[in-house]
Structure 1
Amino acid sequence: MSLRFLSLAGDGIGPEIVAATEEVAVAACAAHGVTLALDRHEIGFAALARHGTTIPEAVMAAARAAQGIILGPVSHNAYPPVAEGGLNPSGVLRKSLQLYANIRPARSRPGVPTPTGHAVDMVVVRENLEGFYADRNMHMGPGEVMPTPDLAIAMRKITRENSTAIAQSAFALAERRPRKRVAVIHKANVLRLSDGLFLEAVRAVAADHPGVAVEEILVDSAAALLVRDPTRFDVIVATNMYGDILSDLAAELAGGLGLAASLNHGATHAVAQAQHGSAPDIAGQDRANPGSLIGSVAMLLAHLGHPGPADTIMAALDAALANPHTRTPDLGGTAGTRAMTRTILDHIAQADR
C-alpha cells in the first residue's frame, strides 16, 4: 500500500517542523506497511524569489494531484501586495481545492500543564471558505473596499450550502464522540440575516441527528464559558472568523498553540496544517515545537482511512510530551525541535517491535 503527499515547507519555522513531520509520517506509515512518498515544492518567500509568486501554478497542479498535502506555516502578512505575487498560499489552497471544513481539536496532554487546570477535550469545526475573510469570499475582487481614505467596508458572505456542509461535518463528528454534543456559535441577535441563515441551516441538519445534544451560544458568551469551564464543550461548530478565534482560545486552554493540530478538507482534498504561524523570530534556532504539524498529519492519515499510522503518531507524540526533557521550551521543556522529533521516532520504533 502506498500514499503520495505534497510537502510545502513554507516560511519561518516551516522548514524545520515540516522536516520533522515528514520523518514521523514516513516512519509511522512504514510501521503499518504503508509506503509514503513525498513530493516537495517551494512556496512563500522561497517561491517568490525564484518564480515571482508565493504559490506557483506548478504547486497547484501538484496539490490537485496529491492524495494529501502537508502545509508549513507561511509569513503572508509580510508578503508584498497580491499584484506583486504576494498571495496567501493557505487561502489559495483552501479556495482552489474547496476545503470547506477546518477541523481543530483541542485536547490536553498528560504532563503538559493547562492555564485553568482543566482537562480539555473538544473539537472546533470551522467553516473555511466564507465569512469576513477577504481573500476567499468573492469570485473576483477583494471582500474589502475603501471608498475614501477614511472609510473601510468589509463584506461578509454566508451561504446555506456551506453552512449546511460544515454542520454536517460537525454532527457526523459528534456522533463518533462519547458525549455527542454540539455547541452552535453565532451572533444572530445582531447579525440577524447572515448568522440567522447559518443558524437556520445548522438547525435543519440537527433535526437529522436526534441523538446529538445541541446548544446555541452567542460567540461572546462562548468565549467567557470556554475560560470558565472548557470541559463543558465537546464539538463546536462556527462560521469562519468565530471558529478561527475560538479555536486559538481552545488551543491555549489545552496547553498551547504548539500542540494545536488542524485539518482542512473538502470533498476530494485534504491539507494538514499547523494552527499556529511561522514564528520567524525563532526560525533556524532548533526551538520550534513540531507537535502541531505532527498532530495535523496524524489527522490527515486518519481522514484518508489509515487509522493505524495516525494512532501510532499520536501515541508517540503523547509519550514525548509527557516528559519535560523531551518537549520544547514553549511547553516548559528543554528539548529542541530535533531532539523532540528523535524521541517521537524512538517511540514509533519501539511500538513497531
Structure 2
Amino acid sequence: MASQVLRRALGSRSSQILSSTTTAAAAPNYSLLASAARAFSSATTPITATLFPGDGIGPEIAESVKQVFKAAEVPIEWEEHYVGTEIDPRTQSFLTWESLESVRQNRVGLKGPMATPIGKGHRSLNLTLRKELNLYANVRPCNSLPGYKTRYDDVNLITIRENTEGEYSGLEHQVVRGVVESLKIITRQASLRVAEYAFHYAKAHGRERVSAIHKANIMQKTDGLFLKCCREVAEKYPEITYEEVVIDNCCMMLVKNPAFFDVLVMPNLYGDIISDLCAGLVGGLGLTPSCNIGEGGIALAEAVHGSAPDIAGKNLANPTALLLSAVSMLRHLELNDKADKIQDAILNTIAGGKYRTADLGGTSSTTDFTKAICDHL
C-alpha cells in the first residue's frame, strides 16, 4: 500500500510530462505533449537520454543507475556529458554549449550532483541549466519510504518551485562601497506558467489542495503579483481547494504536521528552502527525487543533494535519490512498467533493512546496495 502511495506521488503516465509552452494568454497543450511521450514509449529503437554524471560521488551513483537500468532492460541509451575544466564563454560556466544542445535535442536527461565553487565568480552550473533550457518548474515529491522510520509517518506532499526568476535572477550590483543591491524579479508570465503546472499536476494526480507560499505581506508587489496569478489560475480549477500561506508560517506548520499540506507552489527562493525542509521530514536529500520541467517537453531529472567530495571514490554513496529521479524520467517517457519495477526494487531493498548505505543506518557499499536492487529486479 505504501509503495502504491509513493508511486502515485512520484507520478504516472502523462501527468509527469506536463511541460508546456504556456504563455500569459494561453494554457499548455498537454494532449500534444502526451502524444509525444507515447511516441517515445512505443518506439522500437532505444531512447537517447542525456546523462550528466556530475562531480564528487556523481559518477558512482550514475553508474548505479546504469547498472539498474541494464538489469531492468530499460531501452535507454545514455549520451554522457561531463563538466568542463574551463569556462565556456557561450554558457559562462563549466557546462559546454554542446552539453546543453544534447538536452535540447534529446528532450530528456538525468543529472547527478554538480558543485560550483563558492565566491569564485563562476556561474552556477544548476542555474545555467535552468536558465539556458528554460526549466521553469522543479517538482519534488516528498514521501515517507516504506520500512524506513523517521520522525514523521505517512508524509505525502509535492513541492513545485518556480525555477527561473525571483531572487535567483542574478541581478546584483554594488551601489556604493559597502552597499550591495540584489533585484528580485517576478513576472506574470512565469507566475502563470508555474501556477498552471501546479494545478494541472494536482488534478492529474487526484490531489485536493494547492497552497501558494508567499511573503506578500512584506513584498507586496513581487509576491503580490505571484499570488494574483495563482488566484487567476485557481478559478479555472474549482474542484481544487486553493489557499495562501505565508512562508514562515508554512515552515512552522510543516514541522508541526506535514499532513497540513498536499501540493505547494512557490517562487524560486522559497521553493529552494521549503523543498529541502520537506526532504528532511522523510530522511534527507539522499532519498528525495526531483524533476525539472521545461517548455516544449524537456524534462531533466536530477539528484538535488550535494556532490559529497569527502566520500567520493570510496564506494559509500547512496544512489537512491538519483535512482528515484531516474524513475521520474521513465514516467515522463511513459515507460511506466519499467518505472514501477525499478521503484519497487528500490523500496523493497530499503524496507528489507539488510542492504543500506551508511546514511540510512547501514554498512553496505554503493556496489552492494546497487546489486541488492538488481537482485530484486
Q: Name the TM-score, length of structure 2 as normaliser.
A: 0.83
SS of aligned partner of 2:98? helix
Please give the secondary structure, in 1, of the residue aligned with 2:186.
Answer: coil
Take 1:108 and 1:126, find their aligned partners in 2: how far apart are those partners?
20
Among 274, 277, 288, the residue aligned to 1:249 = 277
Q: Deviations over 1:144-196 (max 9, x none)?
A: 11223411211111111111111111111111334421111011111100000
Query: Which of 139, 156, 163 in structure 2 is aligned with 1:128?
Result: 163
Matched, 1:193 2:193: no
2:305 counterpart residue number: 276
Following the alignment from structure 1 to structure 2, what is the Cα–Cα distance between the partners of residues 316 and 79?
A: 41
* Corresponding residue number in structure 1 for 2:59: 15
- Alpha-carbon deviation of 1:80? 4.0
Determine if contact 2:87/2:95 at 8 Å carries over to the other structure.
Answer: no
- 1:48 aligns with 85
Is 1:182 paired with 2:210? yes
Alignment correspondent of 1:266: 294
What code does the residue aligned with 2:54 have?
Answer: G
Give the match for residue 121 of structure 2: 81
Separation in 1, partners of 2:292, 2:131: 11
What is the CA–CA distance in structure 1 between the aligned matches of 2:328 and 2:369, rounded to whole Å? 20
* Structure 1: distance between partners of 2:135 and 2:69: 22
Instruction: Describe the superposition over 1:299-334 as per-residue Cα deviations: whole angstroms up to 9, x where unpaired.
Output: 111122222222222111111110222121111122
Aligned to 2:310, the other structure's residue is in SS state: helix
Q: Deviations over 1:204-236 (max 9, x none)?
A: 111001111112100000000000001121111
Letter in 2 for 1:64: R
- 1:266 Cα shift? 0.9
Give the whole-Å Cα distance in 2 for the aligned partners of 1:19 and 1:79.
31
State the shift of 1:93 in Å: 1.4
How many residues align? The count is: 329
Residue by residue, what CA displacement relative to the aligned partner does 1:246-302 show, whole Å, maximum 9, x if unpaired?
010101101211111100111231111112111111111111111111111111111
The residue aligned with 1:299 is 328
Whether 1:39 and 2:68 are equivalent positions in the alignment is no
| Candidates 107, 129, 133, aligned match of 1:97 | 133
2:13 corresponds to: none
Percent identity over paired residues? 39
How much does 1:143 deviate? 1.1
Hey, what's the Cα distance between the residues in 2 that align with 1:266 and 1:170?
14
Alignment pair present for 1:330 and 2:359: yes
On the 8 A contact 1:327/1:334 being kept in 2, the answer is yes
Greater alpha carbon shift after TM alignment, 244-253 vs 339-348:
339-348
- For residues 99-138 of structure 1, the C-alpha deviation after alignment (integer angstroms, 9 at most, x for no partner) is 10100110011121212x32201110000001101xxx2x
SS in 1 for 2:210: strand
2: CA distance between counterparts of 1:51 and 1:236?
A: 36
What is the one-letter code of the residue matched to 1:318? Answer: L
Extract unaligned runs of 5+ from structure 1.
Answer: 349-353
Task: State the partner residue of 1:222.
Answer: 250
Residues 1:309 and 2:338 are matched in the alignment = yes
SS at match of 1:166: helix
Matches within 5 A, 1:146-225: 146-225=174-253
Secondary structure at 2:135 match in 1: coil
Residues 100 and 264, structure 1, Cα contact 8 Å, conserved in 2: yes
Higher mean C-alpha displacement, 230-239 vs 308-317: 308-317
Distance of 2:50 and 2:183 partners within structure 1: 33
Quick check: 1:256–1:331 contact (8 Å CA) kept in 2? no
- Would the alpha carbon gap of residues 36 and 189 (structure 1) be closer, same or farther in structure 2, given more than 3 Å must change? same
Mapped contact 1:119–1:254 kept (Cα < 8 A): no
CA contact (8 A) 2:115 2:125 kept: no
**Residues 1:114 and 2:150 aligned together:** yes
Q: TM-score, normalised by structure 1?
A: 0.89
Runs of 4+ deviating beyond 4 Å: 49-53
Local SS of the residue matching 1:237: strand
Query: For residues 50 and 200 of structure 1, what CA distance do their matches in structure 2 show?
Result: 40
170-179 or 124-133: which moved more? 170-179
